[in-house]
Amino acid sequence: MKSRLEALLDQVRERGRYVRRQEAARAVESVLDVLGAHLVGDDRSDLARLLPHQCGPLLTGGPPASEPLTPRGFVEAVAARDHGDFGEARRAVTAVLGIVAEVADDALLRRILTQLPPGHAGLFGRTEPV
């Protein structure tokens, strides 16, 4: 039986078309680290509770960001964290945040999107805020 983390990584691997689970793990780590820095209050911990427990520190353990990021800036921050290119970071962001949108209920997703500058809904696979 797969652990919750293995199931999440397999979902990210499939959605992001990664060959190895290790690539999916790197995507999860990078994206959740950047996302967690841009969320405050209960939204970070509420989201952490919905994901495998290993994801919690990625969302809640880092310091808050000093300034908000545009959607492009969010992808660039993931790319900078991984020393990757924009296209690879975009793939990681859409794979991971798409799954976040699936596990979060509409109320939590709305609160998350409210904390981010306009335009981030597309990164979560949504055309508009919920």
Q: In this predicted structure, what is the pLDDT of residue 130?
A: 53
pLDDT in tens, 103-119: 999 999 999 999 999 99
**Per-residue confidence (pLDDT) for residue 2, from 0 to 100:** 77
For residues 93 and 34, give the distance between their C-alpha atoms in angstroms, rounded to a whole number.
Answer: 10
Whole-prediction pTM value?
0.94
**Domains of the chain, earliest start first:** 4-117 (1.10.490.110)
Give the residue ranges of the chain where pLDDT is below 50: none
Residues ≥6 apart with Cβ < 8 Å to 129: 110, 113, 114, 121
CB 112 within 8 A of CB 43: yes
Q: What is the pLDDT of residue 63?
A: 87
Instruction: Tell me the one-letter amino acid at 14.
Output: E
pLDDT reported for residue 129? 54
Q: What is the pLDDT of residue 1?
A: 67
